[in-house]
């Protein structure tokens, strides 16, 4: 971690359509941006482009709201079809207020509206569609990591990020919903600080910190810059995904 | 926000002692690191060095635990004197489990153990001392901003960060506990995305995202690199501190 950290946006990244090969788009965009992958690089991708490539759209016209969705829609003042999608995408509804439904997403993260997004997708008013989160972002990240390794000879670490609200604090921050190749928690428990005291519990969620940093660079209109290259972090290789970021319900004091 | 974001650690920053002039230390360290402040620069400081410069130490031998502190210490399995300090530094205790006390700090943030820190301070076993958060981090940030402006002719934006645990997710992330000169929430409500849809609610907590990014660069042994220069963000000037990051209790679904 000595030295600078650089976050480089891949500018003019193309709009992503269902079926697109993200590894190929990224390689083309790296070349366009006069960049080569180098060992230690991390690529952070906005969730939206992964969902689009994987065709995670849902047409509201094809959604039949259940009785539970009608009830939720009424409580939350939402379109019943959107409420139905939120329920389908969730394990549990944690809180409901007008305009907001906080759930545990089927992938485990606590997220408003199950991460279902209406912004930055072209809305055909005749038949509006919404964009769901990727089916399995850790798998998406791992596949992209492999594909980029094959194409370029360098295997970058991958983070798929999303903007998320939080308890206690206003505003959204980028969080990691999928990772490949890096340990999302940098476990320093038992190491010593510079005075020789044993660090008691210090487990920075580095994947979330990287996701937040990249989110700054992506800006909010993420389609315009949905991929950020992070250089200089140099985290050790890790074989696994992002599930260690999710606090077990039994350990969570704030549900 | 076009272009790269660079996070540059001020290496070999000296150990900070009570009464030290942080503006002077930073100027000396910038020169040592062959850096000049330029307009748009943001400096992120670890809370710890601000607390040390402001002598926010407390000697445990001088703390007399109240009855409430004895009760809290018993519930949380903590030193009663530390429990007393947590209570003094807090408005309200939100949750208690063995080893963990989650409070609303007197400055408004929800924080474990009221942010009281035992790591990276030299512990005299005869008379251990702990480090409290700065009395008013927004004021500390504003004063540093002014002092640096006077000294260098360039007035950087300032963030004081700390590592904080979160609801729902494991690991800590850097958050902003004090800011000066930048709007901690980048309000985009009402702007349009690239498809012309009105962005409904998009308010990135940019100060927290910057705090998280800098936290990565500081690493956990923050004394070794407690100041990070962020270049390339270029947020508009803002006259105010960080209180907009704090969700009002009445608006918080997770207390």
Asked whether residue B149 falls in the same domain as residue B242, the answer is yes
Mutation target to probe the B interface, by most B beta carbons within 10 A, among A93, A94, A162, A169 is A169
Tell if the CB–CB gap between B193 and A1 is shorter than 8 Å: no
Residue B201 pLDDT > 70 = no
Which residue shows structure tokens 């007393």?
B84
Residue found by looking up tokens 């979330």 in the block? A208
DSSP assignment, residue B60? G
Question: In the listed set A107, A131, A155, which residue is the last one of a domain according to the structure?
Answer: A131
Question: Is B1 part of a structural domain of the chain?
Answer: no
Does the beta-carbon distance from B166 to A171 stay under 8 Å? Answer: no
Residues B44 and B147 in one domain: yes
Total domain count, chain B:
2
Same domain, B122 and B188: no
Question: CATH number, domain at A82?
Answer: 3.90.1660.10
Please identify which residue in the block is written with the tokens 């790591």: B119
Same domain for B229 and B176, yes or no, is yes
pLDDT one-digit tens code per residue, A186-241: 876 556 655 665 555 678 999 999 999 999 999 844 457 999 999 998 899 999 99
Q: Are residues A163 and A237 in the same domain?
A: yes
Nearest to A6 among B4, B171, B184 (CB): B4
**Higher per-residue confidence, A126 vs A34:** A34
Local confidence band at B145 (pLDDT 50, 70, 90 cut-offs): very high
- In a domain, residue A114? The reply is yes
Please tell me whether residues A31 and A152 are part of one structural domain: yes
Alpha carbon distances (Å) from A5 to B30, B219, B230: 17, 12, 10
Domain co-membership, A121 together with A141: no
Last residue of a domain, one of A78, A105, A131: A131
User: How far is Cα B115 from Cα B89, in angstroms, rounded to an integer?
Assistant: 9
Task: Give every strand in the sheet of B110-112, ordered side by side.
Answer: B90-97, B100-105, B110-112
Domain assignment present for A167: yes
Contacts of B123 in chain A (CB under 8 A): 195, 197
For the ranges A86-95, A102-111, A197-206, which has the lowest average pLDDT?
A197-206
In chain A, residues with a C-beta closer than 8 Å to the C-beta of B163 are: 202, 204
Find the mean pLDDT for residues B205-232: 88
Predicted TM-score (pTM) of the model is 0.93
Do residues B141 and B88 share a domain? no
Q: Which residue has the tokens 């030299």?
A: B122
As a whole number of angstroms, the longest Cα–Cα distance in chain A is 65
From B131, B152, B172, the end of a domain falls on B131
Which of B111, B105, B164 has its CA nearest to residue B135? Answer: B105
pLDDT of residue B208: 98
- Which residues of chain A lie closer than 8 angstroms to B102, CB-CB? 253
Say which CATH number the domain at B146 has: 3.30.1330.100
A255 within domain boundaries: no
Which is it for strands B157-164 and B42-46: parallel, antiparallel or unpaired?
A: parallel
The secondary structure of residue A204, as a DSSP letter, is: B
A33 and A157 inside one domain: yes
| Domain assignment of residue B92, yes or no | yes
- Arithmetic mean of pLDDT over chain A: 90
Q: Do A170 and B244 touch (CB under 8 A)?
A: yes
Are B155 and B86 within one domain?
Answer: no
Q: Where are the alpha helices (DSSP H) in B18-118?
A: 22-32, 47-53, 67-76, 80-88
A217/B5 CB distance under 8 A: yes
Alpha carbons B180 and B190: distance in angstroms, whole number: 25
Of A199 and B99, which is predicted with more confidence? B99
User: Is residue A40 helix, strand or coil?
Assistant: coil
Which positions in chain B touch A186 (Cβ < 8 Å)?
A: 220
Domain-embedded: residue B251: no
Query: Which ipTM value was assigned to this complex?
Result: 0.93
Residues A157 and A210 in one domain: yes
Residues B23 and B43 grouped into a single domain: yes
Which chain B residue has its CA at the smallest distance from A5's CA?
A: B7
Percent of chain A predicted with pLDDT > 90: 79
pLDDT-derived band at B6 (thresholds 50, 70, 90) equals very high
A251: in domain:
no
**Residue to substitute from A166, A187, A189, A215, interface B, most B β-carbons within 10 A:** A166
Structural domain of B90: 57-131
HSE-up of A226 (CA within 13 Å, CB side)? 24
Contact A119 B184 (CB under 8 A): no
The reported pLDDT for the residue numbered B230 is: 97
Across the interface, whether the CB atoms of B169 and A121 are under 8 A apart is answered: no
Q: For residue B121, is pLDDT > 60? A: no
């Amino acid at each position: 971690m000595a030295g600078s950290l650089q976050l480089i946006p891949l500018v003019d990244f193309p709009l992503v359509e269902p079926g697109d090969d993200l590894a190929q788009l990224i390689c083309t965009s790296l070349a366009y941006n006069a960049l080569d992958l180098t060992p230690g690089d991390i690529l952070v991708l906005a969730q939206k482009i992964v969902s689009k490539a994987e065709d995670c759209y849902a047409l509201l016209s094809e959604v039949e709201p259940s009785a539970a969705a009608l009830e939720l829609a009424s409580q939350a003042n939402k379109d019943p079809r959107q409420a139905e999608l939120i329920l389908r995408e969730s394990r549990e509804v944690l809180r409901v207020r007008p305009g907001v439904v906080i759930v545990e997403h089927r992938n485990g993260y606590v997220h408003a509206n199950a991460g279902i997004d209406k912004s930055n997708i072209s809305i055909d008013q005749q038949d509006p569609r919404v964009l769901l989160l990727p089916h399995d972002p850790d798998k998406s990240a791992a596949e992209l990591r492999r594909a980029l390794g094959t194409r370029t000879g360098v295997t970058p670490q991958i983070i798929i990020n999303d903007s998320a609200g939080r308890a206690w604090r206003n505003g959204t921050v980028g969080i990691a919903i999928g990772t490949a190749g890096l340990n999302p928690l940098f476990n320093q428990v038992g190491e010593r600080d510079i005075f020789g005291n044993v660090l008691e519990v210090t487990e920075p969620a580095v994947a979330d910190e990287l996701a937040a940093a990249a989110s700054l660079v992506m800006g909010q209109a993420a389609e315009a810059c949905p991929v950020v290259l992070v250089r200089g972090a140099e985290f050790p290789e890790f074989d696994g995904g992002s599930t260690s970021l999710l606090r077990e319900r039994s350990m969570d004091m704030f549900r």
